[in-house]
Structure 1
Amino acid sequence: MAEMPLLHHRLALSLHHHHHLLLLPPPTTTTKRLSQRILKITMSTAASSHSPSTHQHSLDQQQQQQKDQVLRYHNQTKHNFNNYARGPYGLDWANQPNPFRRYVSSPLLPLLHPPSPNSPATTRDGSPPPLYHTVFNSLPSPKPISKTTISQLFYDSLALSAWKTTGFSTWSLRVNPSSGNLHPTEAYIIAPPIDSLIDHSFVAHYAPKEHGLEIRTEIPSGFFPKNFPKNCFLIGFSSIFWREAWKYGERAFRYCNHDVGHAIAAVSMAAAGLGWEVKVLDGLGHDELEKLMGLDVFPEFKIPSRPVKGKMPEIEFEHPDCVLLVFPSGTSDFGVDYKGLSLAISQFSTLEWKGKPNLLSKEHVCWDIIYRTAEATKKPLNIFNQFIVAPFLGSGDISESSYKGFSLREMVRKRRSAVDMDGSTTMARETFYQILLHCMPSGFGSGEKQRKQLALPFRTLSWDCEVHAALFVHRVVGLPKGLYFLVRNEEHLDDLRKSTRSEFKWTKPDGCPDELPLYELAKGDCRELSKRLSCHQDIASDGCFSLGMVAHLEPTLHEKGSWMYPRLFWETGVLGQVLYLEAHAVGISATGIGCFFDDPVHEVLGVRGSKYQSLYHFTVGGPVIDKRIMSLPAYPGPGVDA
């Protein structure tokens, strides 16, 4: 039996003597070897078949260069004990980016402020609001699209949730979390006419501080009837890399894509409360997304050859990430003609776009590798992509009593990121298993293995699950302390066992539901270990459990393309959003952790190369409330200059 103490002692020694963990090849060497290996395979395959056309050879070469760039970025931006990823040494407070994008001179349509989630338990139409945990098993009847429901969708997903003040400074919080509360993610709605709001089809930017829509342009009336069923609209997301890079430097591209995932899940959960489904339109490419949201109005940003500092207003451009189709649940017998949709979107460049984006900072720093990687991960149009709405699968209940009876609306708006954890709060084993059930992509009851993303909110994503979780269990009553692994795609199970330490047990823990693919790897107290791995942060060891999200990285890039790299981070963000909501729903809290030592985490697991990589850490436990900080209502805020 592989007990944790021996393993833990060996790892602790490695952690204590930092240089022992750096015996693996340095990132640049690893990248070159990976590139050479892939190139050899490509050349070998090409030699054994007919000579490819010049065009195909050029395309293969371009795709190889893109994957090389992604692996170069990923390795260069790893943190290690004696070498953090490059970033600003100290914060330039004078140039802190404005967290609110506005399109100056574009018309602003105010949205409604729905009743407080704590008000009497009825919605505007008199029906009771769904309880948080119930939407994981079935959605309520779909509400009509109107000013009321669109207002509620944004209010419960992307709006402000509160203001905080210490007397010296004031800052806002949002329903969707963000690394460093910097909010690089911007949102757009592309919709047909909406009752009581606007009488023509339009594109608008969502302004969270005002809780309103800035109208960017009017679009042709035939756009929606020709391309989508009735009662559909689109939500688009873009990222302003500068907002995140101001604080985090080169690693910011990772964090921006975490935030996209959180935003996707936030919209999916809020839509679920209205009886609406959400799905990424993943056949569209970068160029289509840019035109659809009117982001081609930004001046072209020329990437410098090295990091530079100065006045670069063009660096504040918005990079298009994705567009979500929102439609009534039960609408499943339709497809999307991406060729026709792309043709219709190509006409958007000729429309009259209103508003000029505000300047966010006076001076900037360009970390050139962020923008090279963004170029390398641009997704091409795929007119053959199949738009499939799979049957809704519930996530399963084994401990409904773990939940505190909050409505979904209460839950999404009360979510907060814990700054500290108390180091004493415990969790029942059944509650732990219940949380993990809601973290599974395929739901339960189908008899199939976990792989396809069919459960809420993972069903919004269009690819099979590629992200797992390595769990450090600290304070779960009835479960031994130690290292565990949650296999979220069971097709990877055999490979994971072969790719990790040979002494790991891979046994099901006591009381674990048969349908939950959770495995105990090794017993032992790993509080100090998890703390050190997460950049020496106490919060990783002071909760009930913490975890690292481990993605199936290099094979996914090789099979599908470099454009999957940001999508793997989106998947971690969606999973992180579920962990946030689950923690609050059982009466505790959670926090995402973007700072961790990448390769030391891999050393703990025993994984080599880039097949499996840790992309995001998380911790769940009892929060410590800082009583020096006062909370103020989200709307009206404390003042326009706050």
Structure 2
Amino acid sequence: MNNDYTHALDYHEKTKHSQISILYSRHYLDWENRPNPFKVYVDLKSILLPDSFPVPSMNAVKAIAAVNNNNINNKEGDIKFLDKDTSIDDSNYADINRIKSFRLTDLASILFFTCGITRHIKFNSTDYYMRAASATGALYPIEAYVVNGDINKNDLDAGVYHFNPGSFSLTAIRKGDYRKVLASYSANNSTTMHSPVSLVFTSNSWRNAWKYQSRSYRHWFWDCGVILANLLAVCKSFGLQTKLLMGFIDDEVNKLLGLEYHEEAAIIVASLYASSYLKGGVTNSKSTMGNGCEPTNEHGNEKSDGNIIQQVDNLKPKVYPLSLSKVFYPDIWKAYDTSKLQNSSQVVNWISKTNFIIDSSSKSNNSNNKKRVLKKYPIETNFTDLEIPTIGKVILKRGSSRRFSRGAVSLKTLCNILTSSMGVEGKANLPMDYNLGQLGLVDLYFIANNIDGLQKGGYYFNATENTLDFLSDIPYADFSGHLCLDQPLFADASAVIFLMVELKKILRVLGNRGYRVVQMESGIIAGKLYLLSYTFGIGASGSTFYDDEVTDFFSYHDGPKSTMIAIGIGTSPYQSKSGTVLPLRLTNEQMCGESKTL
């Protein structure tokens, strides 16, 4: 069913925003029925994570973008996770063989700076617990599960655990080493099989659908993507590599985690590893497949007949309800179900697809496209006069701007943010398991409202030619706010960035699951844009948009593209407080009782 990509196209079309759809929407927010942001098990025991753990201290730009630049200054040194007296420079900071062992304190730090609680706010007698990564509507639909071997002898037994940020604890769902089981659902991926820890991220459908209805399926991947941006940066700081797997047998992974059918679903696996952990030195640094469909070690998969998977018992652990009642949105689950992979052969075929090639140079050199570019501004990145904070400080500082001041942002700052978020030749450098993940599926377009050195208008970030291509004037001053559902916040932003893809072209190759891919990649890049904005001393906020109006405005450049997400960046009229290393120990009553905890 995944190959019939009309399902994804239908979903995308049905969930578009327009001025008419917003005007005639009858949806309202039932605040008495707002879902709790914590998943709490009724009968399962929890293990408290240590509240003292290492803080990621790599230069934020290096951690986010994995750049090699000797001119990036750092206020507070680099990696503290390495052995004492081990020097490290820009060319080999990811030499992960130097790590002695993976400890429970390291896992606690990764979970905290990825999706832990960094702020506690009280408003109108209600407690709000804000997390390390942003979430649409502050609803936090993403759950994190840990699948691990024994960690540092007696630190943590092998098992399958659920991470609860409210109590900063792990709840044991299964006891024993299930890494090989999880790997069997991903075509025997050897990275997952031999990594000390894999994190499985899921989405609880109702938690976000309460506000965003059927469109919230898109939000699954946006909200997970910004979490993954944190994860990639933190792991880089700690000298760990990360492999992101979107090719797996959905029903089996859901069964392993004991998820309730059509309530919660797994959307990505993140295996964390150092090369010394992997047997045979398999590092997965290059994702390539052999000829045909048989997995090879080069791709990080064990030799297999492609059909043998490990079976587990069904689990139905009791959890406290999120709210008094729920609304079921069938369009969400149709989009999900029609993008499932059913067996190992489908997984192998899906991750190995290579018949779609994005030739970014042909885009920029096409004569028709050249006529549609009115002016090219050279991209200039320069970090020599900057003191870059550590990634730990940036994550604690990051918020979601509620006001922009319409102040100017320098062209250098904008260029630093765009180039650092997208990597070499605009390919984002994301460590995905599918071959198309190496090509760069997402393009950045933006509206400049107040960028020093740029005239107001619409632009294309041309990473191939290293230019910002001026495409068109904007029809009126607050046009960017109009495109973002007429929100003044995005009219006040110095620039609004639209992440866009050639949707149909990608779905033809990756099927309905390709819709997950483009939304997830966009979410990760959006997360990087967030972090980089705060790195360079400005603010950021994400937005939804009028789909077809954004497409129409930019379509004269390279044909019509579909918008995945929008990010506004700009100066703020207020100084937000940094979060703190604040592992909380909330009780079950605080998380899901009558204390009005949101």
* Pairwise TM-score range, normalised by the shorter structure: 0.7 to 0.9
Query: Match of 2:519, SS?
Result: helix
Query: Match of 1:357, SS?
Result: coil
Change (3 A) 1:112 1:533: same
Compute the RMSD of aligned alpha carbons. 3.6
1:385-428 per-residue CA deviation (whole Å, 9 max, x = no partner) reads 6689xxxxxxx99321465431111112221111111112x222
Q: 2:133 aligns with which of 157, 167, 176?
A: 176
Change (3 A) 1:339 1:254: farther
- Give the aligned partner of residue 378 of structure 1: 340
1:425-464 per-residue CA deviation (whole Å, 9 max, x = no partner) reads x2221221111111224x2xxxxx544x53xxx2346423
Q: 1:605 aligns with which of 540, 554, 563?
A: 554
- Give the aligned partner of residue 586 of structure 1: 536
**What is the alpha-carbon distance in structure 2 between the residues aligned to residue 128 and residue 158 of structure 1?**
31
Contact 2:226-2:527 at 8 Å conserved across structures: yes
- Give the aligned partner of residue 565 of structure 2: 616
Residue 104 of structure 1, CA deviation: 2.2
1:523-581 per-residue CA deviation (whole Å, 9 max, x = no partner) reads 46864111111111122121221121111101111122111112111111111111111
Within 5 A, what are the aligned runs for 1:317-396?
A: 317-328=263-274, 332=283, 334=297, 335-337=299-301, 340=304, 346-349=310-313, 353=315, 355-380=317-342, 381-384=346-349
Query: Match of 2:310, SS?
Result: helix
**What is the alpha-carbon distance in structure 1 between the residues aligned to residue 82 and residue 557 of structure 2?**
56
1:225-279 per-residue CA deviation (whole Å, 9 max, x = no partner) reads 9963655321101111111110111211111221121122221111111111111
- Give the aligned partner of residue 433 of structure 1: 415
How high is the TM-score relative to the length of structure 1? 0.72
- Give the aligned partner of residue 413 of structure 1: 396
Residue 153 of structure 1, CA deviation: 0.8
Residue 116 of structure 1, CA deviation: 6.3
Q: 1:469 aligns with which of 444, 450, 454?
A: 444
Residue 140 of structure 1, CA deviation: 6.2
- Give the aligned partner of residue 383 of structure 2: 400
Contiguous gaps of at least 5 residues in structure 2:
58-74, 277-281, 285-296, 354-378
- Give the aligned partner of residue 13 of structure 2: 75
How high is the TM-score relative to the length of structure 2? 0.76
1:50-85 per-residue CA deviation (whole Å, 9 max, x = no partner) reads xxxxxxxxxxxx456x42222222111111122229
- Aligned residue pairs total 513
Contact 2:441-2:518 at 8 Å conserved across structures: yes
**What is the alpha-carbon distance in structure 2 between the residues aligned to residue 637 and residue 146 of structure 1?**
21
**What is the alpha-carbon distance in structure 2 between the residues aligned to residue 263 and residue 95 of structure 1?**
26
Query: Match of 2:106, SS?
Result: helix
Change (3 A) 1:176 1:450: closer
Query: Match of 2:388, SS?
Result: coil
Q: 1:107 aligns with which of 42, 45, 48?
A: 45
Query: Match of 1:235, SS?
Result: strand
Residue 284 of structure 1, CA deviation: 1.7
Residue type matched to 1:587 in 2? Answer: G
**What is the alpha-carbon distance in structure 1 between the residues aligned to residue 305 and residue 477 of structure 2?**
52
Q: 2:459 aligns with which of 478, 484, 506?
A: 484
**What is the alpha-carbon distance in structure 1 between the residues aligned to residue 441 and residue 85 of structure 2?**
37
1:209-236 per-residue CA deviation (whole Å, 9 max, x = no partner) reads 1111111102347838996365532110
Q: 2:117 aligns with which of 146, 157, 160?
A: 160
Residue 375 of structure 1, CA deviation: 1.3
Q: What is the aligned-residue identity percentage?
A: 21
**What is the alpha-carbon distance in structure 1 between the residues aligned to residue 475 and residue 497 of structure 2?**
14
**What is the alpha-carbon distance in structure 2 between the residues aligned to residue 291 and residue 70 of structure 1?**
24
Residue type matched to 1:84 in 2? Answer: I
Residue 160 of structure 1, CA deviation: 0.7
Query: Match of 1:382, SS?
Result: helix
Contact 1:77-1:85 at 8 Å conserved across structures: no
Query: Match of 2:312, SS?
Result: helix
Residue 107 of structure 1, CA deviation: 2.3
- Give the aligned partner of residue 375 of structure 2: none
Contact 1:86-1:250 at 8 Å conserved across structures: no
Change (3 A) 1:281 1:177: same
- Give the aligned partner of residue 42 of structure 1: none
Within the alignment, does 1:204 sit opposite 2:153 as a pair? Answer: no
Contact 1:467-1:568 at 8 Å conserved across structures: yes
Contact 1:200-1:221 at 8 Å conserved across structures: no
Q: 2:31 aligns with which of 77, 93, 102?
A: 93
**What is the alpha-carbon distance in structure 2 between the residues aligned to residue 618 and residue 137 of structure 1?**
33
1:622-642 per-residue CA deviation (whole Å, 9 max, x = no partner) reads 124499x99887334788344
Query: Match of 1:599, SS?
Result: helix
RCO comparison, higher one (Cα < 8 Å, 6+): 2
Residue type matched to 2:29 in 1? Answer: L
Contact 1:283-1:338 at 8 Å conserved across structures: no
Query: Match of 1:377, SS?
Result: coil
**What is the alpha-carbon distance in structure 2 between the residues aligned to residue 555 and residue 430 of structure 1?**
33
Contact 1:289-1:321 at 8 Å conserved across structures: no
Change (3 A) 1:376 1:291: same
- Give the aligned partner of residue 235 of structure 1: 199
Query: Match of 1:480, SS?
Result: coil
**What is the alpha-carbon distance in structure 1 between the residues aligned to residue 505 and residue 81 of structure 2?**
49
Change (3 A) 1:373 1:385: closer
325-334 or 379-388, larger mean C-alpha shift: 379-388
**What is the alpha-carbon distance in structure 2 between the residues aligned to residue 235 and residue 338 of structure 1?**
20
**What is the alpha-carbon distance in structure 2 between the residues aligned to residue 481 and residue 338 of structure 1?**
53
Within the alignment, does 1:215 sit opposite 2:172 as a pair? Answer: yes
Within 5 A, what are the aligned runs for 1:258-269?
A: 258-269=222-233
598-607 or 323-332, larger mean C-alpha shift: 323-332
Change (3 A) 1:465 1:609: closer
- Give the aligned partner of residue 469 of structure 2: 519
- Give the aligned partner of residue 257 of structure 1: 221
Contiguous gaps of at least 5 residues in structure 1:
1-61, 302-316, 389-395, 444-448, 491-513
Contact 2:242-2:270 at 8 Å conserved across structures: yes
**What is the alpha-carbon distance in structure 2 between the residues aligned to residue 539 and residue 71 of structure 1?**
30
Change (3 A) 1:345 1:148: farther
